[in-house]
Amino acid sequence: MVLEKYKQKRNFTSTPEPSGDVKVAAERAKKAAADGLFFCVQKHLASHLHYDFRLEYKGVLLSWAVPKGPSLDPKTKRLAMHVEDHPFEYGTFEGVIPSGYGAGIVMLWDQGTWTPQVDDVDAALKKGDLKFTLDGYKLKGSWVLVRTRGWGGSRGGGSSDAKTSWLLIKHRDDWAGAVDIAEFAPLSVKSEGDFADILAQDNPDIWRSNRPAEGGDTGKLFQSIITRALALKAEREGHAEGPAPRASAKAGAKRKTGSAKATPAPRAASTKKAPTATARAKRS
Ligand code: MN
């Protein structure tokens, strides 16, 4: 059944994530030919920070969890754990999952279209060697996903329920480079914010009190997620060149009971077009 695993893992009365309408999948499968196939990367601050790499195929999103995120350096192969297919509608989701599976903050880190560089995607998935190009804001050019012989690696390739390990590798082209894209362009392509901004927008109360709404394990997990989101913000603003970081955000990051109000991400920190410029500069 389409999206069975996805649905099994979630309680849609308590998560803002899309429930996955099979009709959408069927309609989308027809439209994709004209629109181009969608891809996205969602940066997910859960119990561990990771990047969810998703490629639209046959109306759903084939998904891999990439702990360190994509690298533009062809020498850096990034582990990508194949996980359950996600609904097409999930692709632009950004927000807070307050509890349950995947509890944490989801940021739409990149999106665009992808094109297979093989004639038969099913055969490529089964073989465990899928070459493709990406046309996103941050990720462009030629890439490959290769299934490894590591843990679970020998189990069925195209199957959506087998957790197998793959490697996500950039091919050498004009869009490759030594830039650490995750660090260079850390923000959302949807809201232009960071995790702390997304959290603040979703739930100003959590932000003001700097305390999770729930107690128990979920509360503890969220406390660590809030702390991590603030640390990432402080780290980024510490590195930022150009306009000085705003004092209020800094103060908020330092104070445990920060009264800092939610403020939008500094526009100057938006790096949507920067990788393009970098790649161009490199060529010229
Ligand atoms: Mn995830």
Closest CA to 137 of 276, 236, 280, 43: 276
Kindly report, residue by residue over 129-148, the tens digit of the pLDDT.
999 999 999 999 999 999 99
Q: What is the pTM of this model?
A: 0.78
| pLDDT, tens digit, 9 for 90 and up, residues 151-180 | 554 444 444 445 699 999 999 999 999 988
Residue 246 CA to ligand 1 center (angstroms) comes to 30
Give the start-end residues of each E strand in 117-255: 129-136, 140-147, 165-170
> What are the tokens at 168?
């996500």
Name the DSSP class of 33.
Answer: H
Distance between Cα 41 and ligand 1 center (Å): 10
Residue 114: band (very low, low, confident or very high) from pLDDT cuts 50, 70, 90: very high
State the distance from the centre of ligand 1 to the C-alpha of 107, rounded, in angstroms: 10
How far is ligand 1, taken at its centre, from the CA of residue 44, in Å? 5
User: How many whole angstroms from 10 Cα to the centroid of ligand 1?
Assistant: 13
CA of 65 to the centre of ligand 1 (A): 6
Q: Once rounded to an integer, what is the mean pLDDT over residues 243-248? A: 43
At 253 the pLDDT is: 37
Measured CA to CA, the distance from residue 13 to residue 122 in angstroms comes to 34
What is the reported pLDDT for 209? 59
In this predicted structure, the answer to whether residue 219 has a pLDDT above a threshold of 70 is yes
- Residues 175, 137: contact at Cβ < 8 Å? no
